[in-house]
Amino acid sequence: MAEKKKNRRQAKKEIFGHFEQCFDVPRLDYEKRVKPLRNKTKLSGVLAAGIVYGAGFSIGLFGWKSGAVDVTVFSKLVWIMMVPATVAGFVTWMMVSNRREYPVRKEVNAYIDKIEGEEGMLWRYAPILSEFRPDDHVSKRVLQRSQDKNFSKIDPEDYGKAVLAIHTILGNSSTNPLSSEVAEAVIANLSLAVAPAYVEEPIY
């Protein structure tokens, strides 16, 4: 029994080695790479919201002081202006965020294309997710698109999450060794694949 478990751990170790050879995990961790950018762009959204709200408040205050509106209308205007201010802030944040993330998204998409090649690569590890994370529907969708060779529909952020999920499972070999069936299925999938060249280059 102990020998069988040892063999399963060894199989998982070999699969893990192949995985790390194919996937530069830090490079594919899209969410981590863009988090600093998203935090900075929030300031743009707050500023836009403040400008819109400030303009509406100033108009309302001027109307109240000039007698054009009474205090009740002015009070309502103060609350109503929160809606367009919030919308303006959100839209500005999204626009600025997308613009700043574009270079990262473009670079990660190009790297994904290189990894996937013509026949797909990530889907070959699907049995691992099925065994350990059967309810991870986001990652399963990514793997399905990899298998279908529908690479243009793969979102780089979701791809990164799927890679991280598999990497975490494989890295925890001492606690959860792969079953023999899963190990054999993955090895069979990989036997027909050509590992992409691992490129070590600056990503920032």
**Tens digit of pLDDT for each residue in 42-75?**
777 777 777 777 877 787 777 777 877 777 877 7
pLDDT at 8: 64
Confidence of residue 14 (pLDDT cuts 50, 70, 90): confident
Q: How many CB atoms lie within 10 A of CB 166?
A: 26
Cβ 72 vs Cβ 83: under 8 Å: no
Q: Largest Cα–Cα distance of the chain, in whole Å?
A: 89
Torsion angle of C-alpha atoms 142, 145, 150, 154, degrees rounded to 10: -10
Q: From residue 188, how far is each of 142, 162, 192 by CA, in Å?
A: 20, 20, 7
Q: Which amino acid is at 6?
A: K
| Count of residues making up the chain | 204
pLDDT at 203: 37
The percent of residues in the chain predicted with pLDDT above 90, rounded, is 34
Tokens standing for 202?
Answer: 């600056």
Measure the CA–CA gap between 97 and 76, rounded to whole angstroms: 32
DSSP 127-161: HHHHHH-TT-HHHHHHHHHHHTT-GGG--HHHHHH
Say which range, 1-5, 26-30, 47-51, 119-123, has the weakest mean pLDDT: 1-5
pLDDT at 174: 65
Q: 2, exposed or middle or buried, with CB in 10 Å at 0-12, 13-18, 19+?
A: exposed
Higher per-residue pLDDT: 19 or 80: 19
Going by C-beta distance under 8 Å and a sequence separation of 6 or more, which residues neighbour residue 72? none
pLDDT digits (tens, 9 = 90+) for 68-109: 777 787 777 777 778 877 887 777 777 777 788 888 999 999
pLDDT at 186: 92
Measure the CA–CA gap between 142 and 146, rounded to whole angstroms: 6
